[in-house]
Every structure is written in C-alpha cells, then in structure tokens.
Structure 1
Amino acid sequence: MYTQNLNPTGSLTLSALLASLPLLALLVALGVFKWRAHWAGTAALLISIAIAMGVYHMPLGETLNSGVFGAALSVLAVLWITFNAIWIYNLTVKSGHFAVLRRSFAAISDDRRIQSIVIAFSFGALLESLAGGGSPIAICAVMLIAIDFSPLKAATVALVANTAPVAFGGLGNPITIMGQVTDLPAADFGAMAGRQVSLLAIFVPFVLVGIVDGWKGVREVWPAALTCGLSFGIAQFVFSNFVNYKLCDIFGALVSAIAVILLNKVWQPKQVRVQAPKVIAGGAGEDPAFTRRVGAPGGDSRRDVLLAFAPYAVVVVLFSLAQLPGISDALNAPTITFNWPGLHVLSQAGKPVSVAYKLNWLAATGTLLFISGVITAIVLRLKPAVAARTYIETLRQFGWAILTILLVFALSYIMNLSGQISTLGLWLAQAGVFFAFLSPVVGWFGVAVTGTDAGSNALFAKLQVTAAEQLHANPILFGAANTSGGVMAKMISPQNLAIGTAAVGEVGAEGLLFRRVFGWSAVFLLAMCVLVFLQSTPVLGWMRVGG
C-alpha cells in the first residue's frame, strides 16, 4: 500500500519543480531537440519513474504497475477509437468514395482556404462531438491533403482546429466526468465552459486561414472565417446553456457549415486560392484518394454523394441511438469494472485513490466506430476480405505512434498515482486570488500529459473545486476553466502529434509539428487565462454560472 505525500521534500516549491521535470523534458525534447515522439515519451517516462521512486518513495512494483495501468487504459480510451475512425476513412478510399467526398467539399467553394475551415473546423467538430480520441485530427488532415495541402501543414491545421469543440467532445464526456468527480451539476460546468470556449471559437477560423495563406488570406476571406466562427460559437453557447451540453458540438458543426455554404451563395473572395490536387506523401497520380473511380466523368450523381457521406451519417445515427436509455442500458450491461491487480494507492488524506479499470467493450466509443465501419463496408459494397485487409493496413499505418500513446499514458498515470500531478496543482493553488488566472494552466498541463480533456478533468477536477472552496471562489468557474484551458493543449499532446503524423505519412516529424503549433497553444491559453481571471472579478463576473 503506497500513501501519497504531496510535499516529499518539505518545500512545496522544490517538490513542484521536481514533479515538473518529466513534463519539461517532454516539451523540450519535442520542441527544442525535435526528437521523435516515442523517444521523447520514453525519456519523460524514465524521468517520471526516477522522480516517483527517488523523491516520492513509491515502491518499484507500484511505480511500474501504475505505468502498465495507464498504458492499458489508453487501449480503449485512444487506440481503439483512433484505429476504427481511420479504418472508416480508409474504407472510403478503397471504395473510391473519398474522392467523391473531396469533390463535394470542393463544391462548397472554389477557395481552399474556405474549404479548409469547413473541413478542419466544422466537419472536425462533428467528428469530435461523436468520437474524439484523435479521430478528427487524423481524418481531417488527410482530407486537407486531398485539397492541395502539404502533409505537415494539413496536420497543423487539423490540430489547431481541434480546440473549441474539445470541451464538449464525445457527446460532452469531459463535462460529464467533471460532474462525476466533483459531485456538482455537470450542466452547470457545461454552461460555464460554453461561456468560455464559445468566445474562442470565433477566432479559431481566422487562425486557420492565417496558417493556410498568411494574414493576406485573412483579409481576403475574413467574412467566411467570421461566419464560421461566430455561428459555431453562438450555437455552442445556446446549446450548452439552454438545451443540452452533450449536443452543442453536433449542432455547432452543422450550423457553421450551413452558414458558410449560404454565405458562399452571395459572396466570394476577390482572389481565389485554388490549385490542382496534390498527392499524399509517397503517393502517385493514381492514388485512390484522388482518382475518380466512382461516378460518371461528367459529374457525381446524388447517389454518389450520398454514399460518400454515408459513413459519417452512419456514425451520427449509431451514436445517437446509443444514447437512448434502453439501448444505452443494453450496451453497458456487459461492462466489467475491476480494480487494477496489485495496485493499491492511498491519498495523502488516507482515502483510496481509484484504480478502477472499466472494460466497457460493447459501449465503448471505439466499438461503436468499429460497428460503424462494418456497416460502412456493407453500404459501400466492399468485400469482407477487402475490409479486413484494410484494417490490417490501418494498424500498420500507425507504427511508432502506437508506442507513443502507450508511453504517454504510462507517464501520466505514474505522475498521477505517485502524487506528482497533485503537487503541481497544490503549488499553483498557492497563488491565492491569482489562481483564477492560473486555473486554465492546470487543465492545460493535464491535457498535455493525458492527451484528452476528459483525462485532465479526471485528474484535476477535484483539485480545482477544492482550491475554489479554499479561496471562497466560484467552484463552477474553476472547474470549467480546467476544461477550457485543457483544450489548448490538445494540439501539443504527444499522442495527438503522433496521430497527426501517422495519418499524413510523416511519422517521426512530431517535434517539427510541435514547434508549428506550440505558439498557437500558448496564445490561446493566455487569452483563456485572462478571460477566466476577469470572470472571477466584477469586470466579467456577470458571466459566471451560480454567481
């Protein structure tokens, strides 16, 4: 039985400095030395093991078992989701319908800057709302390549776009977990987060256009960027505050895409940026992702277009049905929950730390995506052998990215169960009233390590609420800040970098990709810190939920 000591050195500042070393090593290895993600993850993991054992006095067996527990959690939480999401995409390529889908998006506008915000932001938000787990990054990045983006630029755009929707991803899973961990109303956290990230959503399309074509491009297509961001933000705010936070990303995605389509009927940019489609890295002119193999040469029929969108319609319908009470109960019935063998951890207060492993193999997001893939193969009339062979090719596509994800989850749970993460949170909480400014930073660190907003909320939700109570502040504000700050780190988390590079055929370029997105992560985080701080004061106190 290991009991956490959150200040093992006797100096909280020194303890926090030592606890931060694995995270600093990870960021420096990726950003400064441009290491591959699996090597950076390995170095950070070894440092976290050394800190856990040498500073926190966690026994070797408990330390290593914590890492195995974290790696095991990543299988259902990330890998199973991502494999199946990319498999669905690869099935559309095999059938020739991805080329139809690409042409359908191109029909929205001749300008690839406008296409990019519809694909990466609106369509990506729809994927995030249903599946999450890196699937929007992977799918949208490949779709961007199809409209003439270089692999790394496509991955950059997809990563930066995957911000505002993340707070409500997976049908509001981060918010739901926040409510479960804190025993406070999840709907209140959803409403407060909606009053934060909906403002962020307005600016993200402008940044995407800037990445694609510089600030000249922003000046040329700002009406489309404003329409997309503003319509998404309004829909996200309305649904999170007045309808249901679980639905706000779905409707935000649909509303923003429709708004841009309608705008394009009455306005087009004076200078159109469009070029002939390029091939995927390592591909050829006959790459099936681009070649017309479905539909007549004169144009795609309505049936062709419907079939091209059918896989995503299947995902929407299947995930919507899975939320119905009767069906949800049936899917969760075979779920097995057990404490991880050999792992016994007590908090500093003497309470058991949860080490439960929830094997919800039937209700898992990845399983629903797998079923969606099977249905997709049937709808697209692909032979079972072709679908199976495509799945094996999908697994091979990820390569070292699989190891990266396992390593980073192992790192996060060693840091969590040894007490290193909580030490950092306690140290930041010493800032007093200024903690409102730092509150989003806590969530940012959580997502940087776990790769998911839900994981960050599971780690830090209770800490945020406890800090608020100690400071006599609003716990809903601090809890929501953890969620809203966390979304800024999605683009720099090693597992999402690994997913992005694997999807575009650039495995090993995670360090370079990190350098391209880190600045935007920092800018967005700073803006969120200022917003939350002002919301904690009379200046924007009227925006708070619960006073």
Structure 2
Amino acid sequence: MILIALLAVLIPLFLLGILNMSARLGMTISAIIVALTGYLFWKIPIDVLFASILQGMHKTLPILWILFGALMLLNVLRKTGAIDSINAGFKSLSLDMRIQGILVAYLFGALIEGVSGFGTPAMVTAPLLIALGFTPLSAVVLALVANSTPAAFGAVGTPITVGLSNAAQEQGNHIFSQVSSTITSLDLLGGAFMPTILVLLMTLTLNKNKKSQRDWLEMIPWTLFIGVCYSGFAWLYSRVIGYEFVSIITPLTMLALTIVLLRFNFLLPKSTNKNPWRKLEEKKQIVQPQNLKLENLSLIKAWLPYGIVVLLLLISRTIPMVKTFLNNTINLSWDSILGFKEINSEWAILYSPGLILTIASLIALVVQVKSLKLFTPIAKDVFSTIMRTGLTLVVTLIMVQIFSNSGMNNGNHLSMPSYIAEILSRYLSGVWIFIAPFIGELGSFITGSTTVSNLTFASIQADIAYDSGLPIHAVLAGQVIGAAAGNMICVFNIVAVSGVVGLFGKEGEILRKTIIPALLYASLIAISTSLYLFFK
C-alpha cells in the first residue's frame, strides 16, 4: 500500500523529472493514475473522487486570477517602458548579474512573500530577472529557489498561524511562538547559505563557462554575509516584533543595508566593477511587446506599481477591518462540495493578490502614459496566455485534492499523507529529527503550499515527536522550514511561473534544476536541528 500512497510523488517525478514530459501531459497521466488507484486500492468512493475533481477545478481559479494580475502588470510595464527604467536602476547599483539576482529574487522576492505568499513572489520576480538579461529558464529557477527561506513566515505568518492550527489544538497556542523562534535559530545555518546557493545556481548550473567555479567562489564572502545578516535579523525580529512580520521587516532591512553596502563594494570582488559577471547560458530571443516611446520615465514612476502592490498587500493583510471586508465581499468560495463538509475551496476575489496586481497595472497606465486605452488589448493577450496554463493547473490540483482527501474512504485506511508518515516513522523514528524537514518538503511538493503542507503534516509530526521523545517545537520547526523549501519543487508553482514568462514544456527541466537545492536546503536544516538539540 505504501507504493500506492507514494504514486502522487513518484509518477510526477518519473514523468517530468526523468522522461522530461511536459507538465500538461505528465500531470494528466498522474491524475488519472492516482484517481484509478485511489478508487481500486484505497476504496475512495466515486462521489468523493468527483467532489475532489470539482475542488481541484475550483482551486485553479484563484491561481489563474493571480496569474492574470501578474501578467497584466508585467505587460503594462513592458509597454510603458517602465521595465527599461527599472532595469537601468538595478544596473546603476551593479552591472553584475550575481548581485542583481540576489537583490531581485532573494530580497525583493522575500518582501513580496512576506506580504502575500501563495506563489506570488516568483511570478513577480521572474519577469524582472528576464528584464535584467536572465534567460527565462534561469529566471524561473532562481525565482523558485529564492522563494524558500522567507516562505516559513509568508503572508504575514500564515504558515505558522494557519498551518500549525491543528497542532496548536493539541499543544496550545504557545507552540506558535516556540516554533517561530526555533525556525529562526535553525535558519542561522540553513538559511545563511541561501544566497550562496543562488549564486552557485547562476554560475555553475546555469552557466557552461569553464571559469564558473571561480565566478562562484569569489562571491562567497559577500553571499555568506548577506545570508547571515538576513538570518540574524529574522532571529531578532521574531523575538522582538513577532513572527507575523519577520518576512516583511527583514527583507526591507536587508534591501536598505545591501544597497548602502554596494556603494562601498563591501566584501565584493574587484571583478564586480572592473568586469561585471554577465555570462549566462546562451540567450534566446524573446518576442516582447513594442515599447511606447517615452522619454525620461523616472525611477519613482517606474517602481510605483510595485510600491503600490506592497502597500496594498500590507494594508489588506494587517488591518483587521479591511481584511474582513475584502474576505466577505464578492466571496466565491465553495463550501461542502457535494455535501462533504471536509471538501472546500476558498476564493475571496477582492482579497486575492490578483486584484491588487491588476489595480497596480491600471495605476501604472494612468501614471506612466495617462491613458487606459491599452488595458483591454493587453488583457486579451494575457487571457489567451493563461488559458495555456489553466489546463495544466487543473489536472495538477485534481491529483493533489484526491491525494489530500484520500482519508475519506470505505477501506478504513488512513489518508495517503498520514499513511506515508506513519510507515516512515515506524522505521525511522530514531532519526526523525533528520526526516522532519523532508516530510514538510514532500507536503509542499504535492500540495503546492507551505501552509497546506503544515496543515496536513504538523499534527502527525507532533505525535511522532512525542512518541520518539523529541522536542515537539524542534520537529515542527523542521516541518515548517521543509515545507517552505518545497516551494522550489512544487509542480503547480513551476507551471504558474513558467506561464508568466511564456516558458512552456520545460517544467521537467526546471524540476531537475530545483530539486537539488531543495534537498540540499532540507539537509542543512536537518544538520542544523541536530546541532540545535546538541547544544540546547
């Protein structure tokens, strides 16, 4: 039965990662196999399968709404020439793409994660990276890998507050602060290496230059400094301000600090000025909309839409009255699908980042070209683009929901996620402190969300920790960080970000490039947790 339960993991890995099949075909086959084996072997009733299919279809809509907003903003900024101004602004800080990648993917992406989460950061940062000269493939990979460390506290702490809510019912609400403090302690080792991993990806994995090893090694003092400072500030803010704002205040602090230190070339090799590194894999020509002829579009006007995105996300997530209004107005959530109370799907249209990104694109048109005439033709182009992504997302989410709802069966079986965790704990409980991050990562790979991975596995992890005599808060911290790392390899995140940059059919190649950093990060956290317990 363990092989049946693992099919939702093994089949996509085989079809996409080994056979290099497109996500549309590979995930369609995966969904069909998981549905058939769920019915035949797990005894999932037909009506539960049908409800799960409807749930997966409905859950696709909020993602497409975010994708629409992200593409609208991107295409508007291309049309108005704002992307060129933003590009020039980054190049005024440094022409070195290694530095630009850290600024955009790691630090700016962390800020978007802090206020929004749920896959939005990579959809925002990947197009910016392309504007700076990164190839679509490298931009997607970097954006996904960077969206890991901050995801533990994403969307104003949602992976903790909501993700650990089931575990908190058993352990008490104090578990929130305990786990969040432990996360930042563990990340002093694991998270500190993330900028170094990102530069390694740029110079080794994505670049075929024979000198790439030197290009990476010479940046290590700077990348380690950035990573240690980020992890250190996160550790401080989690204790002084609270976990909800760690991924908002920390990247803001680090953006300011990094920009200042760039002026002094602090810990940077001389090559970043004398011979800036800009050697990536051969660039493929991308057909972009023809820019309007605008003179001297200021950096403030160019960045204004992104500033509005951050501001509106922050207001909508932190002011209770505004949050309640947006969640309850035009709410198209679907509760108790086909009468099953456990099967629901949320879609609060006004609360979604999709609306905020669309509003930002409208404001960009008003401020930058003083006209809204371009909105309709751009929207038509965007709509045709997201339709290509929609089918892939639908079949992916159908498979996810069947897997998640598999506890509703006539065979008296545990749900597939619970069964996997139980079997693993039966044989690996003695080394569970090493396993916990990988379980969190597995959860995000399948469910596509740090929060949902935590909801699915946190209670199970807490029970295993108790039975194994391990500190519950340490095991749960490993779960949360692992779930955050799983964003790198989540199939529908890969599909969504690829759709934004127009990179179709390369999902398997992207997965192969992100899975190694994901496993490396989880391994660092496992080592960090062991050291934490040893010196505690």
Distance change in 2, residues 1:488/1:308 (3 Å): same
The answer on 1:400 being equivalent to 2:398 is no
Match among 73, 76, 91 for residue 59 of structure 2: 73
State whether structure 2 residue 154 is matched by structure 1 residue 163.
Answer: no
State the shift of 1:101 in Å. 0.7
Question: What is the CA-CA distance between 1:39 and the residue it aligns to?
Answer: 1.4
2:306 paired residue number: 312
**Residue aligning to 1:437:** 434
Show the counterpart of 2:166. 181
SS in 1 for 2:422: helix
The alpha-carbon deviation at position 203 of structure 1 amounts to: 0.9
Deviating more after overlay: 473-482 vs 18-27? 473-482
**In the alignment, which of 323, 327, 330 is matched to residue 322 of structure 2?**
327
Does the CA-based 8 Å contact 2:326-2:350 persist in structure 1? Answer: yes
Letter of the structure 1 residue corresponding to residue 372 of structure 2: P
CA distance in 2, matches of 1:376, 1:182: 43
Distance 1:411 1:471, change over 3 A: same
User: Which amino acid is the alignment partner of residue 38 of structure 1?
Assistant: R
Deviates more, 1:210-219 or 1:311-320: 210-219
**8 Å contact 1:408–1:450 — kept in the other structure?**
no
Q: Does 1:25 align with 2:11?
A: yes
In structure 1, what is the Cα distance between the partners aligned to 2:123 and 2:130? 11
Q: Contact 1:31–1:515 at 8 Å: present in 2 too?
A: yes
Mapped to 1, the partners of 2:248 and 2:132 lie a distance apart of 24
Q: Does 1:354 align with 2:342?
A: yes
Aligned twin of 2:453? 456
Identity of aligned residues (%): 24
Structure 1's 375 and 118: CA in aligned 2 closer, same or farther, altered over 3 A?
same
TM-score (norm 1): 0.86
Deviations 1:205-231 (A, max 9, x none): 112212222331222223431232222
CA distance in structure 1 between the partners assigned to 2:146 and 2:293 by the alignment: 30
Alignment partner of 1:414 out of 377, 402, 422: 402
C-alpha separation in 1, matches of 2:401 and 2:315 = 33
DSSP 3-state at the match of 1:98: helix
Greater mean alpha carbon deviation, residues 316-325 or residues 25-34: 316-325
Partner of 2:206: none
1:362-418 superposed Cα distances (whole Å, 9 cap, x missing partner): 323333333344334333345334123222322333343222222222111101111
- With over 3 angstroms needed to count, the CA separation of the structure-2 counterparts of 1:395 and 1:20, relative to structure 1, is same
| Partner Cα distance (1:461, 1:328) in 2 | 26
CA–CA distance in structure 2, aligned partners of residues 369 and 187 of structure 1: 32
Go from structure 1 to structure 2 and tell me whether the alpha carbon gap of 1:398 and 1:215 turns closer, same or farther (over 3 Å shift): farther
Equivalent position to 1:263, from 261, 264, 280: 261
Match of 1:428 in 2: 424
**Against the structure 1 CA distance between its residues 364 and 464, is the aligned structure 2 distance closer, same or farther, given a 3 Å change threshold?**
same
Contact 1:469 1:475 in 2 (8 A): yes
Choose from 390, 400, 404 the match for 2:378: 390
**Which of 185, 188, 195 is equivalent to 2:185?**
195
Q: Residues of 1 paired with 2:281 and 2:486: CA distance? A: 30
Asked whether 1:490 is paired with 2:487, we answer yes
How far apart are residue 327 of structure 1 and its match? Answer: 2.0
**Alpha-carbon separation, structure 2, partners of 1:142 and 1:338:** 32
Q: Distance in 1 between matches of 2:401 and 2:196?
A: 36
* Distance in structure 1 (CA, Å) of the matches to 2:104 and 2:456: 32
Q: Secondary structure at the match of 2:219?
A: helix
The alpha-carbon distance between structure 1 residues 460 and 278, as it changes in their structure 2 partners (threshold 3 A), is closer
Q: Which amino acid aligns with 1:326?
A: M
**In 2, are the aligned partners of 1:202 and 1:233 still within 8 Å (CA)?**
yes
- Alpha-carbon displacement from aligned partner over 1:212-255 (angstroms, at most 9, x marks no partner): 22331222223431232222212222222321222111222222
Deviation at 1:329, TM superposition (A): 2.8
SS for the counterpart of 1:133 is coil
Which position in structure 1 is the counterpart of 2:510? 513
TM-score, normalised by the number of residues in structure 2:
0.88
User: Retained in 1: the 8 A contact 2:163–2:452?
Assistant: no
Q: Which residue of 2 aligns with 1:347?
A: none
State whether residues 189 and 525 of structure 2, in contact with CA within 8 Å, keep that contact through their aligned partners in structure 1: no
Structure 2: unaligned runs, 5 residues or longer: 204-211, 407-414
RMSD (Å) for aligned C-alpha atoms: 2.5
Counterpart of 2:276 (choices 273, 276, 281) is: 273
Taking the aligned partners of 2:245 and 2:263, their CA distance within structure 1 comes to: 28
Instruction: Give how far 1:495 is off.
Output: 1.0
After superposing the two structures, state which structure 1 stretch, 415-424 or 426-435, moved more.
Answer: 426-435
Work out the CA distance in 1 between the residues paired with 2:5 and 2:147. Answer: 28
Unaligned residue ranges in structure 1 (runs of 5+): 1-14, 345-352, 543-547
Q: Which residues in structure 2 correspond to 1:73-152 (within 5 Å)?
A: 73-76=59-62, 78-152=63-137
SS of the residue 1:178 aligns to: coil
Aligned to 1:524: 521
Deviation at 1:292, TM superposition (A): 8.7
